[in-house]
Amino acid sequence: MVSKYSGRCLCGEISYSIDVEPLFTGNCHCKDCQRSSGSAFIPAMLFSEESVSVRGEAKYFESSADNGNIHRRGFCPNCGSQLFAKFNTMPGVLGVKAGTLDNPSGYVPKLDFYVASAAPWDHMSPQLPKKIGAAQS
């Protein structure tokens, strides 16, 4: 049986599979996501943590956002690929970076958020709704 979503890090040391639809999909344009990815935004998918099957062990880096919330970014300790995210405000939820999907066409963003922090050269899709701050209030 083929999973709905599967992906891996650059070196293949960590892989994952998911058999459910995401709870949320969207592009985060906050400064922390820009800095951690080296890009304009992070395409994010949120799932219940129990629905994600992971092979290998990610290392997590913890940081504090401007609002004081804790964000833990999971990456491969071998190649450095960022794969996952955990948030203190959403226990039991695991963020998956859509750029790590084996089939990236499975990612369909529903929202651009933290657009007030977007880089001036970041050209967002005019079809997606925009939110100045966080995706969930």
Look up the CATH number of the domain holding residue 46. Answer: 3.90.1590.10
Residue 2: what pLDDT?
66
CB atoms within 10 A of CB 71: 20
- Kindly report the number of other CB atoms within 10 A of residue 22's CB atom: 22
Contacts of 136 (CB under 8 A, 6+ apart): 24
**For residue range 20-42, what is the model confidence (pLDDT) as tens digits?**
999 999 999 999 999 999 999 99
Q: What is the pairing mode between strands 112-113 and 130-131?
A: parallel
Predicted confidence (pLDDT) at residue 108 exceeds the cutoff of 80: yes
31 in a domain, yes or no? yes
Q: How many whole angstroms separate alpha carbon 113 and alpha carbon 101? A: 21
Q: Give the other-Cβ count within 10 Å of 121's Cβ.
A: 6
Range with the poorest average pLDDT among 26-40, 74-88, 90-104: 26-40
User: 130 in a domain, yes or no?
Assistant: no
Q: Quick check: is 137 in a domain?
A: no
- Distance CA(115)–CA(126), nearest Å, equals 12
Say what the pLDDT of residue 68 is. 80
Q: How much is the pTM?
A: 0.90
Q: Which of 112, 127, 90 is nearest to 29 (CA)?
A: 112
Decide if pLDDT at 66 tops 80. no
Domains contained in the chain, number: 1
